[in-house]
Structure 1
Amino acid sequence: MCDTKVLSQVGESVISRCAECRCIFIWHNNFIMSFSTGQFIEFKNFAEELEFTSHSFPFPDGQERIVMRTPVNDLQLTFTTEQWENFHAAMEEAIYMQEVYSLMEGE
């Protein structure tokens, strides 16, 4: 695993970046996803297009959660309303911080 620097932490969502390989990691509860910079931006844009109300339903515990499909048909990610909002805020902040670090590193 890379030696990462945290770009953003909002609620249960932590987004970090490896300074060497430039890989971006999303840490959320019990999953970790890794992306190249371009993949991360594509993922963020895809997530922004999903509306909570049209992709959510009540789970057996009675809480409403959005279900986000992944390229692996048998794997979906789920978020409560608060987790979904925090997830988006963390990605937005991570994009901003990545731009700041790029400027500081002279890229």
Structure 2
Amino acid sequence: MCSIRPLCNKNNAHISHCANCQTVYIWHNNLLLNFTPQDFQLFYETMQQQDFYDCSVTFPDGEERIIVHSPCRDISFTFNLQEWLDMKEAMNEAILLQQVYDLIR
């Protein structure tokens, strides 16, 4: 049975994990992605390598957004600048809290 613990909440970015199976969940608006701890680390590293201003594109509504592919190539996140900053900060905090939980285990 899953025992979900929140790792971080930043506006629309919510990251949690299961204390039993270690699945990491990223919730963003109406999208939920599940990661193994290793896949979450890879996704985190991928996001850290991207720069909003180098990778953003103008969407039809005129807003600049960055597109980030999820591990499932058919699903991508799109973030405006504030959402991007929130998600990166949430992922940084989630990684740190995960490490704390790992030390406690």
Q: TM-score, length-normalised on structure 1?
A: 0.89
Q: Which residue of 2 aligns with 1:25?
A: 25
C-alpha distance in 2, partners of 1:72/1:57?
21
Counterparts in 2 of 1:11-50, with a 5 A limit? Answer: 11-50=11-50
Greater share of helix residues, 1 or 2?
A: 2
C-alpha distance in 2, partners of 1:10/1:50?
19
C-alpha distance in 2, partners of 1:9/1:86?
9
Number of aligned positions between the proteins: 105
Counterparts in 2 of 1:75-94, with a 5 A limit? Answer: 75-94=75-94
Give the percent of matched residue pairs that are identical in Structure 1 and Structure 2.
37
Q: Which residue of 2 aligns with 1:57?
A: 57
Q: TM-score, length-normalised on structure 2?
A: 0.90
C-alpha distance in 2, partners of 1:98/1:52?
25
Structure 1 portions without partners, runs of 5+: none
C-alpha distance in 2, partners of 1:99/1:70?
23
Deviates more, 1:53-62 or 1:27-36: 53-62
Deviates more, 1:55-64 or 1:84-93: 55-64
| Cα deviation digits, residues 21-77 of structure 1 (max 9, x gap) | 010000000111111111111100001111111211111221110011345444322
Q: Do structure 1's residue 4 and structure 2's residue 4 form an aligned pair?
A: yes
Root-mean-square deviation (CA, aligned residues, Å) is: 1.6
Secondary structure at the aligned position of 2:51 is classed as coil
* Letter of the 1:24 counterpart: V
